[in-house]
Amino acid sequence: MFKYQSCLLISENSGRIKLDRVPTCLGLFYDYEYCPSCANLAIINCTVIEKAKGKKVKGDAFEAVEDLLAVEEMLSISINGEPYTITMRTPGSEKALVRGILLTEDIYTRRDAHPNFIIQNKNNLGYVTEVNIEIEKQDVEKGIETKRNLMSVTSCGMCGLQETDLYLGEQLENEETLGSSKVQEMFETMRLAQKTFKKSGGSHASAAFDLKGKLLSIQEDIGRHNAVDKVIGDLLLQGILDQAKVIVVSGRLSYEIVSKTYKAQIPFLAAVSAPSSMAVKVAEEAGICLMAFCRGDQFTVYSQEDKVI
């Protein structure tokens, strides 16, 4: 059992959660390492999980259980002091999540600079619940006009939009190809890094790779679209978005995931589960190679088929 520990070695840019004291009673799970400068324990990775008691039923038998559940909490996002949206997500990587949303929602698409990210409030567990993003007025783009209505839930990144435009834009220019064997390797790499899913079975994951299969970013969240936004935002904050050529996701593929991939200008998109008909249609029009049912050494290419060799 861990006792209360102070933590000085926390990188704000990485989106890692900072708690001045880490009480074991919260039921959260952390990876620790010793800080070389202060010799205190530091949180290097936070698997945000809480314990829940229940009664398991199997036939006529009943059993008291204590399960681990992925955390879902509200995050209120304001832009220049004006409410923009409330999104339900898994706490952690808030800066990456918001940075990804700003790009994929066409609010702030610059890649060479980042707006000021201010934490406004945390709850009693230390989760960030309110943030404000400061953007110069001349840099706020047209996406701000399509404000989300009240709340974006974890299952639907487009829910709450007052207006939608399904046309993404001109087709991506992509002359590169992806080796079929790399797809399986990428999903295996992502699977091994899914710490929250391993403990709870209740989170999605997304990861970005280059064409050689090098992992550039991996993020987990209870919402599929949040995981993708976190990856894109993390790539932006690292300054390596242009290196990302493939995004893989753990769930199904819908229009919203294709849209986010397009906004990040990433030409390959792959998922464990099925695509929607709209996802396939829009991916073909946008020049994105869409792969689905990626399980083991099998998958199906639904658009830009010649890009997989």
Point out the residues that are catalytic. 156
Of 167, 158, 184, the residue nearest 248 (C-alpha) = 184
Which pair of structure tokens corresponds to residue 11? 């990188």
Measured distance CA(46)–CA(55) in Å, rounded: 28
Of 75, 158, 63, the residue nearest 121 (C-alpha) = 75
Residue indicated by tokens 């006792």? 3
- CA dist list (Å): 145 to 84, 106, 163, 268, 291: 10, 10, 9, 29, 33
- CA dist list (Å): 205 to 143, 225, 271: 26, 9, 10
Query: Hey, how many other C-beta atoms are within 10 angstroms of the C-beta on 26?
Result: 16
Of 67, 85, 60, the residue nearest 75 (C-alpha) = 85
